[in-house]
């Protein structure tokens, strides 16, 4: 019986570092983001929703980046070397569950080249204002 206990203890001893490594990879780094425009008019003719971040451009695997499940359209570095993501505005307007006249959370998620995940959330006001003629 003691032999079985030793084997289980030994197995747990070797499994613990593996569990800790997997746990660290699953914990997402929280980043700050700013969504532009900060008011999304469903009637606008806008083309792009831009997300400014505080994560280094060189760290981000851009092809992995999504905003509320919408795939990234294009990306670049800003003047500080931070990652900037651009999404098709029509795809964002079509997100299910957008509440008109309320603030809605948009969450950016992606992978770093190191394999770590990152996430950031910002809220924007969604409106449905029809432009008045001149």
Confidence of residue 28 (pLDDT cuts 50, 70, 90): confident
**Annotated domain spans of the chain:** 29-127
Helical (H) or strand (E) element with 37: none
Q: Average pLDDT of 19-47?
A: 83
Helical (H) or strand (E) element with 14: helix 2-26
**26, pLDDT greater than 90:** no
> 42-57 pLDDT, tens per residue?
999 999 999 999 999 9
Q: What is this structure's pTM?
A: 0.78
Contact 66, 110 (CB under 8 A): yes
Q: Nearest-5° angle of CA 69, CA 89, CA 98?
A: 60
Q: Average pLDDT of 53-77?
A: 98
pLDDT at position 3, please? 55
- The dotted CATH code for 29-127 is 2.60.40.10
């Amino acid at each position: 019986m003691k032999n079985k206990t030793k084997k289980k203890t030994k197995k747990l001893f070797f499994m613990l570092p593996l569990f800790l490594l997997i746990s660290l990879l699953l914990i997402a780094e929280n980043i700050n983001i700013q969504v532009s425009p900060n008011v999304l008019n469903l009637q606008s003719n806008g083309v792009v929703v831009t997300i400014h971040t505080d994560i280094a451009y060189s760290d981000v695997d851009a092809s992995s980046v999504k905003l509320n499940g919408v795939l990234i359209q294009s990306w670049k570095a800003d003047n500080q070397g931070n990652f900037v993501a651009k999404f098709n505005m029509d795809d964002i307007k079509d997100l299910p569950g957008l509440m008109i006249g309320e603030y809605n959370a948009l969450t950016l998620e992606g992978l770093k080249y190191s394999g770590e995940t990152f996430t950031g959330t910002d809220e924007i006001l969604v409106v449905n204002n029809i432009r008045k003629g001149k």
